[in-house]
Amino acid sequence: MPTVEMVTKVWIAPGCIVCDACETTCPEVFHVQHENETCIIRPEALDVEFTKPLTKTIIEAAQECPVDVIKYEVAKFDVSDEVAAKIAGGATAAPAPATAGEAPAAAAHAATSTKAAPAKPAEPPKPKVMDPAIQALLAATTVRGGHVVIDRGVAGMPDSVKHLAKLSPDQLPPDGKFQRVLEKAKPSSEEPTRRDLLLGAGWTALAMGFGVGPLLAFNRFMAPNVLEQEDPKVRCGPLSKYTSLAPGDVNEDFKPVKPSGFWIIREEERISALSIICTHLGCIPSWLPNDRKFKCPCHGSGFKPNGTNFEGPAPRPLERFKIYLDGDQVIVDRSKKFLAMGPNDTAVWNDPDASIPV
Ligand code: FES
């Protein structure tokens, strides 16, 4: 009876750039949620019996992921010849060959698959097309609102690629995977974009002799479509807005703030700012006011109104951002975080910068 290795668990590590590549390759398992700027594992794919037959495409999606955030575990199974043949040749695409030192599960899978299925002609290994400089740029890149946003401060971004950040997408070196990201940054050709409209207005104004204003607008929109990362400090309004909350209440006004949203919570004697990123694998939980908890849609983690994890796989409470007063204005500074290491290890929350006493 042939033995094959099959995927028993798949998950997405933090750092997804929402590029659609994984859902294109394996839509049964991966679901990109642009509205939340994340990608999740579909609930049915949490079942091992669901993932096993999809082993091949899951591994391909992991190998194609430009930022290598798709992770999986495999286990060996004795299967019938029929099942082994199905797994070996089930996908229409050629098996993804594994490079030495990379994706050992894929290598094992390919090797064991041939035990039961007729041997396929050897294929040349897929070239690893991702240049390290491009990989670093991708790690520093997110696609948002039709723009490529480059976080120039990402640690580990080598000097050799900093000049790439100054180029327009069209000037960047060709790369199949990177192209998928760039596709997201391109305006739709079907509808006139803001840029198209303003270009049109600029030309019209020039034609009508309105001087340099339209020319400046033209120059602005001909410039590389690259934005600086947002200021980490967010002004959140007067303190009274939050002292009027009842203890245990949650203000969601700043959940959509990019690139790191947060909730402002009222505890008995202080207000604090909670990161909206689940401490399990980075999905975005929802605040359920009737249940008085934050609930993560990906794997079911639950957090109390103060961010303490109490159910599901999340290992730590939600992280907190620095919060302070500027006059009577509440400021949240997302450049500094406070990480409690467990539901009973929250001493860091007592740091003066972690809350505003009320
Ligand atoms: Fe897994 Fe939230 S990401 S529970």
Q: Give residue-wise pLDDT tens across range 307-348.
A: 999 999 999 999 999 999 999 999 999 999 999 999 999 999
Residue 125 lies in a domain: no
Cβ(10) – ligand 1 distance below 6 Å = no
According to the per-residue pLDDT averaged within each range, which of 71-75, 180-184, 207-211, 353-357 is highest? 353-357
For ligand 1, the distance from its centroid to the CA atom of residue 336, given in whole angstroms, is: 23
Mean pLDDT, range 99-114, rounded to an integer: 38
Q: What are phi and psi of 257, to 5 degrees?
A: -65, 135
9 and 101 inside one domain: yes
58 and 17 inside one domain: yes
Boundaries of domain holding 83: 3-111
Cβ(16) – ligand 1 distance below 6 Å = no
39: helix, coil or strand?
strand
Using alpha carbons, list the distances in angstroms from residue 273 to 81, 183, 197, 280.
56, 35, 39, 19
Residue 325 lies in a domain: yes
Per-residue model confidence (pLDDT) at position 325:
96
Nearest of 357, 144, 339 to residue 269 by alpha carbon: 357
Residue 292 lies in a domain: yes
Residues sharing a CB contact under 8 Å with residue 233, sequence separation 6 or more, in sequence order? 331, 332, 333, 334, 335
147 and 78 inside one domain: no
Q: Which among 181, 200, 218 is the end of a domain? A: 181
Nearest of 82, 111, 79 to residue 3 by alpha carbon: 79
59 and 173 inside one domain: no
312 and 269 inside one domain: yes
Nearest of 200, 195, 191 to residue 222 by alpha carbon: 195
- Domains: count for the chain: 3
Ligand 1 atom closest to the CA of 296, numbered from 1: 2
Using alpha carbons, list the distances in angstroms from residue 300 to 27, 62, 340.
21, 23, 20
Cβ(298) – ligand 1 distance below 6 Å = yes
| The residue count for the chain | 358
Sheet (strand 302-303) strand order: 286-288, 293-295, 302-303, 309-311
Residue 96 banded pLDDT, cuts 50, 70, 90: very low
Nearest of 96, 82, 107 to residue 26 by alpha carbon: 96
Mean pLDDT, range 137-163, rounded to an integer: 46
For ligand 1, the distance from its centroid to the CA atom of residue 70, given in whole angstroms, is: 14
Q: What is the spatial distance between Cα 116 and Cα 113, in angstroms, rounded to a whole number?
A: 6
Residue 150 banded pLDDT, cuts 50, 70, 90: very low
Residues sharing a CB contact under 8 Å with residue 126, sequence separation 6 or more, in sequence order? 96, 97, 99
For ligand 1, the distance from its centroid to the CA atom of residue 345, given in whole angstroms, is: 20
For ligand 1, the distance from its centroid to the CA atom of residue 69, given in whole angstroms, is: 14
How is residue 308 written in tokens? 């303490």
Q: What is the spatial distance between Cα 155 and Cα 136, in angstroms, rounded to a whole number?
A: 10
For ligand 1, the distance from its centroid to the CA atom of residue 99, given in whole angstroms, is: 30
36 and 149 inside one domain: no
Q: What is the spatial distance between Cα 174 and Cα 153, in angstroms, rounded to a whole number?
A: 24
Per-residue model confidence (pLDDT) at position 345:
92
Q: Residue 196 class from Cβ within 10 Å (0-12 exposed, 13-18 middle, 19+ buried)?
A: middle
Q: What is the spatial distance between Cα 89 and Cα 303, in angstroms, rounded to a whole number?
A: 43
Ligand 1 atom closest to the CA of 283, numbered from 1: 3
83 and 161 inside one domain: no
How is residue 295 written in tokens? 């609930």
244 and 347 inside one domain: yes
Question: What's the pLDDT tens digit per position in 201-227?
Answer: 555 555 555 555 555 555 555 555 554
Peptide bond into 289 cis (omega under 30): no
Mean pLDDT, range 52-66, rounded to an integer: 88
How is residue 43 written in tokens? 């609930």
Per-residue model confidence (pLDDT) at position 332:
96
Mean pLDDT, range 253-267, rounded to an integer: 92
150 and 35 inside one domain: no
How is residue 17 written in tokens? 């750039």
Mutating to test ligand 1, I would choose from 10, 37, 71, 281 the residue with most ligand atoms within 8 A of its C-beta, which is 281
Residue 208 lies in a domain: no
Residues sharing a CB contact under 8 Å with residue 221, sequence separation 6 or more, in sequence order? 195, 198, 199, 202
289 and 351 inside one domain: yes
Cβ(296) – ligand 1 distance below 6 Å = yes
Is residue 118 predicted with pLDDT exceeding 60? Answer: no
Residue 117 lies in a domain: no
Ligand 1 atom closest to the CA of 285, numbered from 1: 2
Is residue 258 predicted with pLDDT exceeding 60? Answer: yes
For ligand 1, the distance from its centroid to the CA atom of residue 78, given in whole angstroms, is: 31
Cβ(143) – ligand 1 distance below 6 Å = no
Mutating to test ligand 1, I would choose from 279, 284, 299 the residue with most ligand atoms within 8 A of its C-beta, which is 299
Q: Give me the chain's average pLDDT, please.
A: 73
94 and 163 inside one domain: no
107 and 7 inside one domain: yes
| C-beta separation of 145 from 194 below 8 A | no
